[in-house]
Amino acid sequence: MRHHPPSAGPRFRRTPRSRLVGVLLAAAALVASAVPTALARTPDEPSETPPPATVGGRTLPYLNPHLPVERRVSDLLSRMTLTEKVGQMTQAERGAVDSDPSQITSLGLGSLLSGGGSTPTPNTPQAWADMIDGYQSHALATRLHIPLLYGIDSVHGDNNLVGATIFPHNIAMGATRDPALVRDEEHITATETRATGPQWVFAACLCVTRDKRWGRTYESFGEDPQLVARMETAIDGFQGTNPQDLARPDHVLATAKHYAGDGDTTYGTSTTNSYTLDQGVTITDHQHFDRIDLAPYVPAVRRHHVGSIMPSYSSVQWTDGGDGKPVRMSANKELLTDVLKEKIGFQGFLISDWEAIHELPGDYPTEVRTAVNAGLDMFMEPYEASQFESTLISEVQAGRVPVSRIDDAVRRILRAKFELGLFEHPYTDRRNIPTIGSPAHRAVARRAVAESQVLLKNAQGALPLKPSQRIYVAGVNADNIGNQAGGWTVTWQGQSGNTIPGTTILQGIEQDASHVTYSADASAPTSGYDVGVVVVGETPYAEGIGDVGNNGHTLNLSSADRANIDRVCGAISRCVVLDVAGRPQIVTDELPKMDAFVMSWLPGSEGEGVADVLFGKRPFTGKLPVTWPRTEGQEPINIGDRHYDPLFPYGYGITTSHHGR
């Protein structure tokens, strides 16, 4: 989602205009038939039971798996009423229908999603699959038995599920410069996600981050659109490399987001906060926009055939044409239809971000009409599904939204459902549940952590560490798996503490050294140690909170982190500092105090990967995916700038030898 909440993944910080209560608006066409016996299935029954292949004794073309997808889509579309079509364009949050799932049937909902932290109880793979299969049974009770598409924010693993493999965030994966590893990571994510029910993920984020003050910097692979494009192997990991792969139990529909320019907004242009960049305005000319912001979406569509795209909350304001006023992406027909669908050739469907159309000017009918006519196909209206459907139906009946636009949107959505094999296998294929969080999957995550570590300073051979050394470890982030996982981990914002299974950085160090002392605040005596390791950084955030950092409106280290560096590096002859954060922090004054400095990013659940490079079991190979500023006042600073004088340039990273000692 814009991830959603407002971003792309559901968030819960906004107050919806209304909530679904009771039995929502029913459409007569959706309740015209009784539920077939074949659909009366409990979640525990085999997942292979398909909807009936015949109606009235004859097989309908859209239910015939041997026919081409396009013919099946055309046949089904020809049988649908306007109400049924609008239902397919509607996505609700599971929390809005959970108390009365019959709303799925009465509204003919095409999709449900789980926002960040919207999980079943207990939060287990079996409970997820049972929950989603239960919702699916209500979708299959509609007249035409159209299956439900379920979406979720699997942005660094199946991160809503406790026990899933949690990978480093995208900024760290950009540091690996390893497209094959990114593909493998997302294939694991797809496998773990689909095993629990969801067939669709709101990932990968193709934003090009151009200002590290942006609270969503961690969602980007980097500041160079060419690097972002290289990492679009993520889409192949999710979807596979041919259309037949989508129907397999180890693949999901991917979402490229947030189209386009969300990482290139101008500081101070946000509509929600004067000092933020999130949901701001990209003030640019067409040439710059095409070269930086639009560039990653071209290969995503033409080479990787991404199935869905999520437009950004942000706006674009042209400096070389138009009326000079910012236009929200959800209303931008030029970029959604003229450029993306027609010029670039996108054949998938566009899904709005969480309540994104509510940001548009005008009353609700105007918001709906504007967004549909601009090119949006499915609408994430978490708590207003009924109002959305009735409003859009009225707009079509009044002639303000063409039926052809509705048909185009529904055709795109149905195509994805057929390609996912949902008409033949609507229920969860649970065969891969045993692989969730498996040693094999965690080994890939551990490798990703190791490859993402960027060694920025290494004086006097401070690294690698030796198992025989007496090591003093300080800093809260050394032993806090919630902090090292970051946002979008179990909940939208993420949370400090022991939130997921895994290994902290401290535990990884303790596995490799026999003499380790840990003091979170560096208050324990420092004498008698060979090396000090100070782990600094950020605490979890998703977007808005991240925009202002955890230390006021700055990228600076916290006072506690600076104090830990001063105490440990001032007392122990060799001092190594690790930064666990979603973006570069200002360390210019602290850097001379350190012998070694490592950017660890947000490594996720496998802290041993950090220890692997610290002790030389794996070499340092990571390279900066973004420019590291000397001061916050340098932002925005990016490779190619005319006056470029960073603390560390884009692409910098000291490489070490394997097993170096």
Residue 257's contacts (CB-CB under 8 Å, 6 or more residues apart) are 1, 2, 3, 8, 202, 203, 204, 205, 206, 207, 309, 310, 311, 312, 353
> Where do the H-state alpha helices sit in 233-317?
233-239, 286-288, 297-302
What single string gives the DSSP state of each residue in 487-551? SSBSBSS--SSS-SSSB-HHHHHHHH-SEEEEETTS-S--TT-SEEEEEEE-----SHHHHT-SS
Alpha carbon distance 145, 173 (integer Å): 41
Distance, C-alpha 508 to centroid of its chain: 27
| Tokens linked to 613 | 């490079």
Asked if 308 and 327 touch (Cβ cutoff 8 Å), the reply is no
Residue 48's contacts (CB-CB under 8 Å, 6 or more residues apart) are 425, 427
Residue 251's contacts (CB-CB under 8 Å, 6 or more residues apart) are 187, 190, 194, 238, 239, 240, 245
Alpha carbon distance 342, 53 (integer Å): 35
Alpha carbon distance 217, 121 (integer Å): 32
Q: Is residue 353 flagged as an active site residue?
A: yes
Alpha carbon distance 423, 410 (integer Å): 16
| Tokens linked to 267 | 């500081």
Alpha carbon distance 535, 308 (integer Å): 39
| Tokens linked to 437 | 């969080």
Asked if 344 and 338 touch (Cβ cutoff 8 Å), the reply is no
Q: Is residue 342 flagged as an active site residue?
A: no
| Tokens linked to 210 | 């151009």
Question: Within a 13 Å sphere around the CA of 593, how many CA atoms are in the beta-carbon half?
Answer: 19
Question: Which among 419, 219, 192 has a CA at the least distance from the CA of 308?
Answer: 419
Given the residues 543, 579, 606, 612, the one annotated as active site: 543
Residue 435's contacts (CB-CB under 8 Å, 6 or more residues apart) are 191, 192, 195, 441
Given the residues 262, 353, 384, 395, the one annotated as active site: 353
Alpha carbon distance 447, 441 (integer Å): 10
Question: Which among 390, 309, 398, 352 has a CA at the least distance from the CA of 108?
Answer: 390
Alpha carbon distance 533, 514 (integer Å): 15
Q: What are phi and psi of 8, to 5 degrees?
A: 175, -10
Tabulate helix, strand, coil % of the chain (nearest 5): 35, 15, 50
Asked if 578 and 598 touch (Cβ cutoff 8 Å), the reply is yes
| 281-284 β-sheet, strand order | 281-284, 315-318, 327-328
| 255-259 β-sheet, strand order | 255-259, 308-311, 349-350
| Tokens linked to 198 | 């969801």
CA dihedral over 75, 78, 83, 89, signed as positive or negative: positive
Q: Which sequence positions are flagged as catalytic?
A: 353, 543
